[in-house]
Structure formats: structure tokens, C-alpha cells
Chain A
Amino acid sequence: MTALLEARNLKKHFKLAAKWPFSTPPKLHAVDGVDLVINAGEAVGLVGESGCGKSTLSRLVSRLLDPTEGQLLLEGEDIGRLSTARFARSEQRRLIQMVFQDPTESLNPLFSAFDLIADPARMLLPRAGKAELRRRVEAAAQAVNLPLALLERLPHQLSGGQKARVGIARAIVVEPRLLVLDEPTSALDVSVQATVLQLLDQLRRERGIALLFVSHDLNVVRLLCSQIVVMYLGQVVERGPSTEIYANPAHPYTRALLSAIPTLRPGKLERIKLEGDPLSPISPSSTQCRFCGRCPIERAQCRTSMPALRELAPGRQVRCHFAEEALTGLPAAV
């Protein structure tokens, strides 16, 4: 079966200003050789701290940025080679849609909810007539439980939850196969977040829309996603089914991340404190592990060779020399 979307060795390096005239400008390795597979109707969670490249990766996947290197296959066809402008006019544009972080800032304040939802359809389905457009917008609004009476309102007349729904409605109006969601609930209150999460899960189950859910909230990812990808400084450090990663995180960074989530449950992991800041993503060394300096199980080998992403168990990959030790040496999480 071909995956819905597959990234192979995807890289995005941003060129920075050169320090001296004629010297080679340094490069910020935002995404540094990421492989990613998203199957149809699957929810994949992408987690990591700020600056780890998860937003850049989500923009690469939704083709808002051109990759520096690597392939991006949509149903087996390489869409990474088209420029963003060409891709925006292609047939495939409508198959990958994006929902942005802050519903207040990502909606044009001068557009009514109807126009906001209709806008992508006008661009991507130019043959749809007026009646067809209205039918589609209303169907999308109904799918996200947005009362049709609110369609004439402007964004400032809507509540945070309603704006979040408009953001999702405009993404699904063109019937995409994949939704890329960049922290869609971080600006919402918990009670509103609950409805939005359930809505996303419902869209996935009923319409088979795959989700790439970018978040730093592991509690949310645990509920929504069956697969988890953990990123650190531009690289995937661990990947696998979410239940297994939650039960038994293999990479020390994943362990630290999981132990840091505040929880109301008893018997959680002992807190692993990460002191210090991550290494710089600007021209990083290719001969040391990027987690060096913060890793609780760091050894000499970590500073001389970069661990490869290797198979730990079927369907589970980890980028650490000593992952087995982490698995057996420390108490398991709940």
C-alpha cells in the first residue's frame, strides 16, 4: 500500500547572513533529514520543544516552504520538486490543507465567516458555481458544528472556539486527504479544546482525513494520535505507536518530555530535569549526538559519533546509542 504522504530525507536549511564578506554564510538546519510516513486516515502526532523544527516540517509537508533537499511523495508522486507557487496552482493543492495556531490571527478580520470558509474553495475549485459554493460552505460549517446563523459574522464577533471551528471548516471545505494542524488548540481554554479535539477525531473517523498534529502537549497527542514522532533539533529522535511510546519511551529526551508533563495521575515517572539549553541549530556538528549537553545518560561515545535512527522493535525507531539501557535501566512509566 502506498502511504498517503511520505517524506524521504527531507531537509530545510535556512541561509543566514554571512559574518564576513565573501565568507560562506552559516546555515540554520531547521529540518535535517526527516523521514515521515502518514497513511490515509491516520493521526500522527509531531512533538518536540520550540525550535526543534516541528513547525518548519509542518510547513514543508503542507508545501508552504520549498525543501532544501529530499523527496515529498503524495500518493507516490513527488510534490517536493514543484515550487510552492506552482504547487499552489496544481490539482494536488486541495489534498493537503493546514489549520493554524491562533484562530484570531490566522483569520482575515475583514472577511465574514462565510467568505473565510469559501475563500479556499474559490481558489481551488474554480469551476464550482455560486450555489455549489454555498452548499459546500454550509456542509463544512455543519461538519464542524458551526451554526449557519454565524456565517455572516466577522471574526471579532465570534468566540475563540467558534473561530477555531471556522479555521477547521475552511481547511476541510475543499475535501482534503490530509490536515496539517500546527498547535491548533494551544490558544483555547481546556473546555473548548475538548470539543475541538473530538471534532478532529470525528473528521478522521468519518471522512478518513489523515491528521498531522503538531503539538508540545503530549497529553493531547496521546488522546488523538495513534503514531508519535518526537523531534529534537531538526531530527527525528523517536517514532512509533503512541501507546508504546507512552508506556516505554526509549530515547532519553522522550523520557524527559514525558516526565515533565504535569499530571493528576499517581505513580508517574520520576521527573528527569533537563538543565541547560539545546545546542545551536546553526551549522551543527555531524559527529556528535544533538542531545549532548542535556542528556542524563551521555557518554564519551555520544560526543564523537552521531547515532543513527535505528529500528528498536518492529514499527519503533530511536536515535540513541544507549536506548536499550534506557528501556531496561529505568522504571517504566504508567
Chain B
Amino acid sequence: MTNPLLAVKDLTVDFITRHGTVHVLDDVSFDIGDGEIVGIIGESGSGKSVTAYSIMGILDHAARIRSGEILFQGRDVLGMNRSELDRWRGKAASIIFQNPRTALNPIRSVGDQIADVLARHTPARASEIRAKTIDALKQVRIPDPERRSKAYPFELSGGLCQRIGIAIALACAPRLLIADEPTTGLDVTTQAVIMDLIRNLAREQKTSVALITHDVALASEYCDRLIIMHAGHVVEVAPTAEIIDHPRHPYTAQLLRSVPSLVDSIGELQAIRGSLPDLRRADLPFCRFAERCDRRLPICDAERLHLGPALERHAVACRNPL
């Protein structure tokens, strides 16, 4: 990839909390190409959502970005001031949140919430905005869009609410869409419909998608490439089929063995030994998986292995890969 749409370079983020400084992201680097669908996979606490929020500039006040760059079409998002960010967000890049009911404003009609985004980024006459709102609703295949645009979030089912979230995110045809666990809490049948919708719209508009999820099976079905995260590190990046068939990082391999859809009997399921290291520790090992790893070598503790910004096709942050 010569010119990625988004390049995250050496992003390091700490959170200052009452209980100490939490080293949430450490030298996270990856990129997303034009029109690509990339899965960012990790368990809870792996830093996948913080990565998404860093890109969108919506981190919590407790967060401190210690170093790194987030280049969107060559421009550093972290260096943008407030008004630049406001113009960029929602237009060039947008996000779909996990819980559609809490992400929508409960006291405004869903049509108004879509119109807000349109009015902000593409000012036009009210009648035009209204027509575009209806189009946006049609695009996410909401039946009876004229009537539904006047509905409030509580009047719609979870699946319909998530479609509104997608309509808001895609209203201005962004180049990058971040979908943060967009189908958690939805039924499998609804999940399939929503994921197909995201994929098809992204393909139509040539939007790149970062799908953030803990569901390896879901990501493998929709993504071109996978980025595996563990405890704030990117541990492996590769095309989907390659990672599923030949995982090289011990963590990826163990993660795949714990996925129910990949095994034939309950005896084959394997849990990952140990738990995430406490990210507040000052003496975090260089490899944050080392303490759970059965392939640990003396060199793992001697120096940090960098998964640098210049990523190969199949990059793995391990001294002793499979």
C-alpha cells in the first residue's frame, strides 16, 4: 500500500485515573487502505475502542495521547484544532456506536438527527435537507421512511435504531467509517442484515470500514484484513484467510482455539491461560502477552519488538512466532 487512507503511527495513550496511570495503548501502528474493510479484534480491555475514539478525537478527558500520529489522507488528525475537527468528523470520517439506543438522542425524532449532520456539513435549503434525510433512510432500507423519520428512538426496534445510526454515519458519504461493535446486543438474524448493509453501502460509496469487534467469526466473514490487539498492543496484522488458517502470534492462535464456531466438540475448546496484565503496572513486560505465553524466550524480556509503521503483508509482533 503506497498511500493508505488512514495511517496510525506509534499511537500511545495513557489514562490518568484515581488508581494510577493506565497504559492503554502502546505504540499502536496500522493502516487502512481505500475501500478496504478491516477488522480490529481483541477481547475487552485490549484497547480496540480507545483506538477508535482516538481516531475520531472523542477520547475521555482522562486520556493523554503521549505520542504518535493519526494521518488521514496524509493530514494529522491529532494536530487539528476544534473547528477543523468539527468539519472533518461526520463528513470525512464517522462512527457507528455499539448501543444504538444510547447513541441516539431520545428526545429528538430520528429524522431530525440525520438532518443535523446534513445541515452541518452540506448546508442547503430545509426542503432539500428533508429530501436528503428521506434518501438516507431509504438507503438503509427503512420501510415507510416518511413516517419513520418522525419517530423517536424508543418507538423503533434495536435493529431499526442501528440502521438510523448507520444512516447518520453515512449521510455525508464519509471516506472512513468506524463501526464499534455495531451488532452487539442485536439478534443473529438482525446482525446479518446490519452487517450486509454496512458492507454493501461501504462498497457502493467506496468507504473504508474499520470493524471493531470481539467476534472473530463475524470479522472473518466481512473483513479483508484483520488487526489483532492484545493489552494495548497490535500483535498481528494479516489478510483474513491467512490469519485464520495460519495464525503466527501465539495469542492469535489461542484466541482462535477458544472460538466455538471453529471447533467440532466441546473438548476441543481451549481457554487462554491467565488474564490480561494489569495495565497500571510500571514493570509491564515488553511483550504484554509474555506472562501468558508458552513460547516465551529469554529475548522476549530483553528488548521490545516493534511492529513498526511499515507493515508487511503479514506482520507479527513475536520473537518466537508459530
A binding-site residues for B, Cβ under 8 Å: 49-50, 159-161, 189-195, 197-198, 201, 216-220, 222-224, 256-257, 259-265, 271, 273-277
Nearest Cβ distance between residue A166 and chain B, in whole angstroms?
16
Q: B261–A216 contact, CB under 8 A?
A: no
List of B residues within 8 angstroms of A274 by Cβ: 189, 193
17 A-B contacts (beta carbon < 8 Å): A159-B275, A190-B216, A190-B259, A191-B255, A191-B258, A194-B258, A197-B260, A197-B266, A198-B267, A223-B266, A223-B269, A259-B192, A261-B188, A262-B217, A262-B222, A264-B261, A277-B160
Q: B193–A190 contact, CB under 8 A?
A: no
List of B residues within 8 angstroms of A193 by Cβ: 258, 260
Q: Which residue from chain B places its CB closest to the CB of A274 in the assembled complex?
A: B189
List of A residues within 8 angstroms of B266 by Cβ: 197-198, 201, 223-224
Knowing A191-B258, A197-B260, A273-B196 are in contact, say whether A219-B43 is a contact too (CB < 8 A): no
Q: How far is the CA of A49 from the CA of B157 in the complex (A)?
A: 13
User: Which residue among B141, B196, B217, B262 has the maximum number of chain A CB atoms within 10 Å of its CB?
Assistant: B217
Q: How far is the CA of A190 from the CA of B252 in the complex (A)?
A: 12
B300 at the interface (CB under 8 A from A): no
Knowing A195-B271, A220-B260, A271-B192 are in contact, say whether A189-B43 is a contact too (CB < 8 A): yes
Q: A260–B191 contact, CB under 8 A?
A: yes
List of A residues within 8 angstroms of B158 by Cβ: 50
List of B residues within 8 angstroms of A265 by Cβ: 261-262
Knowing A49-B187, A264-B216, A264-B244 are in contact, say whether A219-B261 is a contact too (CB < 8 A): yes
Q: Which residue from B160, B195, B262 sits with its C-beta under 8 Å from A264?
A: B262
Q: B189–A190 contact, CB under 8 A?
A: no
Knowing A191-B272, A273-B193 are in contact, say whether A262-B260 is a contact too (CB < 8 A): no
Q: A262–B193 contact, CB under 8 A?
A: no
Knowing A217-B260, A223-B260, A256-B189 are in contact, say whether A262-B265 is a contact too (CB < 8 A): no
B143 at the interface (CB under 8 A from A): yes
Q: Which residue from chain A places its CB closest to the CB of B43 in the assembled complex?
A: A189
User: 0/1 per residue, B180-205, Cβ < 8 Å to A?
Assistant: 00000001111111011000000000
Knowing A190-B259, A194-B269, A217-B260 are in contact, say whether A49-B275 is a contact too (CB < 8 A): no
Q: A262–B43 contact, CB under 8 A?
A: no
Q: How far is the CA of A191 from the CA of B222 in the complex (A)?
A: 22
Knowing A190-B214, A194-B271, A197-B266 are in contact, say whether A263-B221 is a contact too (CB < 8 A): yes
B139 at the interface (CB under 8 A from A): no
Q: How far is the CA of A263 from the CA of B222 in the complex (A)?
A: 11
List of A residues within 8 angstroms of B143 by Cβ: 276
